[in-house]
Amino acid sequence: MWSSLKEFFSSEAVFLAANYIFFIYGIILMSFYFTGVILASRAIKRNKRKSLFLQVNDIVSATDIPSISVIAPAYNEGLTIIENVKSLLSIQYPYYELILVNDGSKDDSLEQLIEEFQLERRDATFITQPIPTASVKHFYRSKLSKYTHLTVLDKNNGGRADALNAGINFASSELVVCTDADCIIEQDALIKMVRPYLEENEKEIIACGGGIGIANDSVIKNGVLKELRLPENLVPMVQVVEYIRAFLLGRMAWSEINGLMLVSGAFGMYPRKRVIEVNGFDAKTVGEDLELCIRLRMLMEEKKLPYKVVYLPETLCWTEGPPDHSILIKQRDRWARGLWETLKIHRKLFLNPKYRYMGILFYPYWLFFEFGAPIIEFLGVICIIAFAFFGMINWPMAILLFTAAYLIGCVFSTAAIFMYVKNFDHYHKPKQIIELLLAAYLEPFLYHPILVYGQMKGYYKKIFGIKSGWGTMTRKGFKVSDT
């Protein structure tokens, strides 16, 4: 065993093959990122120009803009449920209803809601169920006139996807926004999100996502983000950079070529009739947001209908990122499993010309570079250790290569921060920018290895069939200001 291992890692051919594989993989990935920077810059510039002619004020008093249902599932969120619902009720849009789905909570969430909003129980017999879900026990409406747009669905537990489906069934609006009860949504988010649906003529918008920001340690007042602060701890601080990079560079770039395969589960808008047509979210996967978006795209490809998945660069939704390593690992473990499951479900897309770019480019990208990256990184670490052990590594050269790769990574992060600072004014103080840059430069050492560990843990569970659900995501909660 040992001798064969030694023979394997000491072999010049293996060493060369490994070198070439990692090098080519890295070069292709860098090319994607580089193209992403160019596409994202173009998209942001165009978006900024277009927005001058699509001013919200022009239609804000209109009475015929589409109605929207905001669907927020909640499970055992009694600690923050009232604040969260108040926050979601404060969104400014003339025709929206909030459907809060109590997904069989075992705590006193429902009782609190009934008391705070003076809810009245209604019979759920006649609720149509175009998407099958766990049974809805009752629905509740407020007796108070100021909360007429609030509905609480009380159903048996079925998971987040199932709760969203129940909300979609109940909604009567054209568009549905799927979010989480603990998200802080910008007041004008809905009117901005509805814009692509109103302005598109030739293609149908099947999904629209907005930027999501990390707001740990920020101050919330009356459900509204009063003061955005950078997180105090490194883990959420790096996530700020990670989200900026992922949303501003990644999603914006993919959106530019209509290649978005994912609209984030924390904040995504869909036309209700299309979601029903594909039978809603898949309750069997933990990556239900990615899975739905892919299924919607497949539907349109199969029907040969022109469509678009749109992403708005502005941060419209604020969420609390995992505050420490252990919760981060749980989150990334779940994301990795969701990705695995979704790619497996839709494996027929791989290099399938029937689905055009989706089959030929987008799916393979996700497979090789979103799904494959942690595996390649993990294998890379193993190879370095093994080759080092057998004395195959030219250390000065390796250090130089590492420095180059590290600096290239820093360039992409810096580019994302620059684009964000230039176009948005959330982080404009020099101190904040310096902190963001430092977090970006420390990321490869203090954050990324943990991320890879979390992802590999998820894959490990899938390989060995270890059952695991959503996991408990303990949150600290936002700072609530009373003044």
Partner 1 sequence: MNESSILILIGFVFAVLVIYWISIVISVIYRRNRTKRLQKIEMTFAEIVSGYLYNDPNDPLTLTEINKTLKNVGIKKQNKNNIQFLIGLMIRTQRTILGTNFYKLQKLYSQIPPYRVSINKISSWSWYRKARGIREIYEMNQSQYLDEIFKYRNHRNIYVRREAQIALVVFLGWESLRFLPYLKRNMTLWQQIKIVEKLYDHYPKPELKWLHRAYKTERLFGKKLLMRIIRKYELHAETGYIVDNLNHEDYEVRETAIYCLQTFALSKSKISYVKVLFEDITDPTQQGQLLNYLYHNSEMDLDFYMKQLNNASDDLKLSIAEILWNNGYKEKVQEFYYKQYPAETELNVE
In whole angstroms, give the CA distance from residue 427 to residue 407: 23
Least Å distance, CB 400 to partner 1, is 4
Query: Per CB under 8 A, does 59 bind partner 1?
Result: yes
Query: Per CB under 8 A, does 29 bind partner 1?
Result: no
| Binding segment toward partner 1, per CB under 8 A, in 238-246, 248-256, 336-344, 423-431 | 423-431
Residue 351, burial from CB neighbour count under 10 angstroms (0-12, 13-18, 19+): exposed
Classify strands 136-142 and 150-155 as parallel, antiparallel or unpaired.
antiparallel
Task: Report residue 241 as tokens.
Answer: 């950079």
Number of residues assigned to the chain: 483
Query: Per CB under 8 A, does 408 bind partner 1?
Result: yes
Query: Per CB under 8 A, does 411 bind partner 1?
Result: yes
First-to-last alpha carbon distance for the chain, in angstroms, is: 69
Of 195, 330, 346, 457, the one binding partner 1 by CB under 8 A: 195
In whole angstroms, give the CA distance from residue 418 to residue 251: 17
Query: Per CB under 8 A, does 49 bind partner 1?
Result: yes
Query: Per CB under 8 A, does 472 bind partner 1?
Result: no
Task: Report residue 353 as tokens.
Answer: 């010309």
Asked if residues 191 and 60 have their Cβ atoms less than 8 Å apart, the reply is: yes
Of 108, 111, 199, 204, the one binding partner 1 by CB under 8 A: 199
Least Å distance, CB 441 to partner 1, is 10
Query: Per CB under 8 A, does 64 bind partner 1?
Result: yes
Q: Is the dihedral of CA 314, 318, 323, 325 positive or negative?
A: negative
Query: Per CB under 8 A, does 24 bind partner 1?
Result: no
Query: Per CB under 8 A, does 14 bind partner 1?
Result: no
Least Å distance, CB 304 to partner 1, is 17
Q: Tell me how far CA of residue 267 lies from CA of 22, 82, 316, in angstroms.
A: 35, 20, 8
Least Å distance, CB 439 to partner 1, is 14
Of 3, 63, 145, 472, the one binding partner 1 by CB under 8 A: 63
Query: Per CB under 8 A, does 121 bind partner 1?
Result: no
Of 234, 410, 450, 456, the one binding partner 1 by CB under 8 A: 410
Of 14, 21, 29, 54, the one binding partner 1 by CB under 8 A: 54
Query: Per CB under 8 A, does 52 bind partner 1?
Result: yes
In whole angstroms, give the CA distance from residue 359 to residue 357: 5
Least Å distance, CB 410 to partner 1, is 6
Query: Per CB under 8 A, does 391 bind partner 1?
Result: no
Query: Per CB under 8 A, does 397 bind partner 1?
Result: yes
In whole angstroms, give the CA distance from residue 61 to residue 64: 9
Helix (H) or strand (E) holding 176: strand 175-179
Task: Report residue 326 as tokens.
Answer: 């252990």
| Binding segment toward partner 1, per CB under 8 A, in 44-52, 134-142, 206-214, 336-344 | 44-52
In whole angstroms, give the CA distance from residue 330 to residue 99: 28
Per CB under 8 A, contacts with partner 1 among 245-274 are 273
What residue type is assigned to position 194 of the chain? V
Helix, strand, coil in percent for the chain, rounding step 5: 55, 15, 30
Query: Per CB under 8 A, does 61 bind partner 1?
Result: yes
In whole angstroms, give the CA distance from residue 149 to residue 151: 7
Instruction: Calculate the CA 457 to chain-centre distance.
Output: 20
Least Å distance, CB 48 to partner 1, is 10
Query: Per CB under 8 A, does 62 bind partner 1?
Result: yes
Q: Please provide the DSSP assignment of 121-139 as one string.
A: EEE-TT---SS--SPEEEE
Number of chain positions touching partner 1 (CB under 8 A): 45
Binding mask 424-463 for partner 1 (x = CB under 8 A): -x--x-x--x---x--------------------------
In whole angstroms, give the CA distance from residue 97 to residue 176: 10
Query: Per CB under 8 A, does 404 bind partner 1?
Result: yes
Of 3, 4, 145, 201, the one binding partner 1 by CB under 8 A: 201
Q: Dihedral through CA 294, CA 298, CA 299, CA 300, nearest 10?
A: 110
Of 50, 229, 354, 356, the one binding partner 1 by CB under 8 A: 50
Q: Return the SS3 of 308.
A: strand
Binding site for partner 1 (CB under 8 A): 49-50, 52-54, 58-59, 61-65, 125-126, 128, 130, 195, 197-202, 273, 396-397, 400-401, 403-404, 407-408, 410-411, 414-415, 417-418, 421-422, 425, 428, 430, 433, 437
